[in-house]
Amino acid sequence: MSTIILYSIAITALLISFFNDRKKTKRALKKAFKSLTNILPQFLTVLLIVSILLAFFNVETISKYIGEQSGLLGIFSSAIIGSITLIPGFIAFPAAAELLNNGAGVAQIAAFISTLMMVGIATLPLEISFFGKKIALIRNGMAFIFSFAAAAVISWVVLL
Amino acid sequence: MKQVIRRYRNTIIMGVVFTLLLIIIPTIRDKAISSFLNQMKTILFVIPPIFVLLGLFDVWVPRETMTQHLGRGSGIRGIIIAFALGSATAGPLYGAFPVAAVLAKKGGSFFNILIFIGAWSTTKIPMLLFEIKAMGPLFAFTRFIVSIIGILLIAQIICIFITKDDRTRSLETLASKYI
């Protein structure tokens, strides 16, 4: 259902753009294709890794470590993993959905996604070079703490 | 051809490892393959329209005029534009830093630049579309709203914590990174 809506939006936008400016539309499509081919190899690699890992860890194992019952410790470890890893959300979402289906908890996955996007340990040196040490550290620290609040609210709403 | 191979090097290595593992440990075969196909399906169906939308965003959203309205005293309007500017992209977080440098160079306020960084990292619209599909609308929209509040809070707290000196120095460093 949501796929149909998504396609309708994209096609409508494309048509509107096309009737307004063909050149711009062509440039947009070229950009779309280029970003798609840029991300594809990374995509497939992560997909293969996640599939193997999921096949090794059964539902019981996943639930034990990052399931609903793993509580604060599970949320904390998910947040740590999210802070360290450097994968685009596009790739993380299908994997996260698959983990949810295999016994992971909503709060734990929410914390993982939140830190994955907001906290960047790997990119910290780069961020420091742009913003300075103090600001970069405060920002990442705050974002890490925030992910717990986000996890709490999201799991509360979803499990309501 | 060489370039293609280099780009897909990791994929090929993982593909070989994947296949070998399936041959050595047949018990995981069904699960690994179905999980792979399952995720693949999401990606192949959902990604193309999102990237088309992204391309259109990129071409039609006038970045130049937007960045002019991010200075000090730009108020709520500045905050909204900072959010919009950060949300209409798809790059990884480190892609936001050079753009932040541009904003600093063009006189954007420190608070608005922090909002922009936050929006770039978490409230991307194309990402939201994908998240709705993968995680369900309830999860996605809740996270979206919570993130907007979080971004505002974090920006505010940073501005409280740092001295005026820190702020000026940071803006200068940022602007100096502008190439």
Same domain, A90 and A156: yes
Number of compact structural domains in chain A? 2
Rg of chain A in Å (alpha carbons): 19
Same domain, A14 and A47: yes
Rounded Cα–Cα distance for residues B21 and B24 (Å): 5
Same domain, A135 and A145: yes
Is the pLDDT reported for residue B90 higher than 70? no
Is the pLDDT reported for residue B60 higher than 80? yes
Using CB atoms within 10 Å of the CB of residue B30, give its burial: 0 to 12 exposed, 13 to 18 middle, 19+ buried: exposed
Q: Domain range holding A9?
A: 1-56
Task: Write down the pLDDT at residue A2.
Answer: 67
Task: Write down the pLDDT at residue B76.
Answer: 92
Strands, E assignment, chain B: none
B99 in contact with A, Cβ within 8 Å: no
The total of other beta-carbon atoms located within 10 Å of residue A11's CB is 12
Task: Write down the pLDDT at residue B72.
Answer: 85
Task: Write down the pLDDT at residue B45.
Answer: 81
Asked if B49's CB is within 8 angstroms of A6's CB, the reply is yes
Distance from the Cα of B77 to chain A's closest Cα (Å) equals: 23
Confidence check on the interface: ipTM exceeds 0.90, yes or no: no
**Which of A37, A56, A75 is a domain's end point?**
A56
Domain boundaries, chain B: 1-46, 61-176
* A75 closest CA partner among A18, A27, A122, A145: A145
Same domain, A38 and A107: no
Longest CA–CA span in chain A (Å) reads 55
Task: Write down the pLDDT at residue B179.
Answer: 58
Place of tokens 């096949």: A55
Same domain, A81 and A136: yes
pLDDT tens sequence across B123-165? 988 788 889 988 999 999 999 999 999 999 999 999 999 999 9
Long-range contacts of A35-40 (CB under 8 A, 24+ apart): A35/B51, A35/B54, A35/B55, A35/B90, A36/B47, A36/B48, A36/B51, A39/A88, A39/A90, A39/A91
Task: Determine what percent of chain B is predicted with pLDDT higher than 70.
Answer: 97
Distance from the Cα of B155 to chain A's closest Cα (Å) equals: 8
Same domain, A78 and A35: no
Q: Which of A43, A48, A88 sits opposite B92 (nearest CB)?
A: A88
